[in-house]
Structure 1
Amino acid sequence: MRVSHLRKLYGKQVVLDDISIETLPGQIIGLVGNNGSGKTTLMKCMANLIVDYQGMIISDSSLSFVIESPAFYDGLSVQDNLRVFTILGGKSTVDYDSVLKKVGLFEARNKKFKQLSLGMKQKLSIARMLLSESRTILLDEPFNGLDMLTKEYLKELIIMLRSQGKCVIVSSHILEELGEIADVIWYLREGKIQKVFNLQDTFRIYRLVVKRVTDVQNIIPSKYRILGFKDNVDTSIIRVQIQSADISLFLKLLIEQGIEVLEYHDSTNDIKELILEEGNR
């Protein structure tokens, strides 16, 4: 899917402003931003639920989506709802019991949709997604209302869809969940894509805690990009971007200079930290 110069207004208010982005098969994209940043509107435009926009959206594959509140028939049971959407999707035979067991709804298969909790409704949305053969999938806040086990299952499911060559775009305010699965992050703020973060880049962001040394920044060669530095009472925190293959050499350099490294870890997938850093520039 390719989005070119997308612009959407509600009256005189600009909600999306000149957005140009592109997806690739076999990719998990995390869409993040504050409330009111335009995430749901962007997804609705991509899903063709909103058509009165300026710009162009081109898709060369089928698309399915779960946006905002799950839409099902209140008076039908869980299983009958799935049957309806199976027929609408043109499929003939489906192992409903297997799908419902996967999402933990087998025992509730005869319950009417209006009797379900928010978490169960989200699970039913996941089950409906399993019936889809679309190549592009849009999920708007899919982790809302889910228990821990179902969240883990959903993450595994999204990863499985990626392995099948599908593109999954997930909006969520639960940044930790996205950081565990996303390949790319679209950071949307005030209607604009402020930054695209590639979480699979060989350049990684490492967070190091060292024994406090006042001139540690002068010791680190300029070829290493320092993203952040903070002194505490007894320690200093360094955020540095380097090739993953160079981390051992970097640590060796610090140790040879007499700097005591207390801890370090790859924080590339810490989306909250990436956004805060971007906002401080």
Structure 2
Amino acid sequence: MPYRGIYAVCDAKNEYAEIIEHSNCYSGAAWSLYHYAKAPLILKARSTGNMIRYFMKTGTSNLELKPSVAAAGIESVIVQGDEVEITYAGLGGGGVGATRCRALADGVLSYRISESGGERCAKGTVVVPRRDRVLIGIDDTDSKDIGATWTLTHNIAKELDCQEAVYLSHALVQLFPVPEKTQNCMSTVLEFGCVDEKAKSRLVDSFKKALEKYSASRETGLVVLSDFYAKGLYSYSNRCRTERVSKADTLRCAEENNVEVLLDGNGVIGALASLPWFGRPEESIVPGTEIKPMSMEKTN
């Protein structure tokens, strides 16, 4: 039962990575989440639907595998140019997951695996493309009569999803209700993992064209940021969730944080506020919830 996909998103210095695994069997992935979280390199582990996300340091570690308690884990994550080598190890059934289930996932470039199953301790290394995180923020694509930003953006993202620019997550972001809102006053952030600048450029160009074609509003906002954290936008985003923010403040903040503004209607205010909420769809919908910096220390 292979995983649907395994993706490695890295920071600019290749010091940290987020290994994102798209599961075909959630119960098996939940088992992995519990055991893998104990591995030394993993700083935080969580699930978003059937995506399991491991935020971790790159490098190697020594796994101390113990049946039933810490039966599997990620031993190393090594960045080699435009590729990432991920080494898994596991006991018994965890060894099958560490080898064949991941080796046969879509997008894996190559692999080395040992025999697995029964009472064996097995180990497997998969090689996947190194990816940069590309965040697309959108707001105000609907009107009082038709449309919904969250559905339009998801449909476009699904159409553009490919191995070079993988569609990783979609989050709705609750904003402070302003009189200009259509109804619920929410923006959307999409997260992609792109293998290179060419893939990013093709993705962004295609997305903008589709949005211009299908948006029902003249005030659409569209922004793009290539960044591992988007932490420079935390303060701005928190403001937008608790008070009215001016368009002038928005454009100034975008410039200060190297955010590309591709469509600058009034929706740009909410579009920019959405960016740091990538991969947090359960938190982003709660009014007033404050986004907090990602911890660089192990949290479990």
TM-score grouping bracket, smaller chain normalisation: under 0.3
- Structure showing greater Rg: 1
With normalisation by structure 1, the TM-score equals 0.25
Give the structure with the higher percent helix. 1
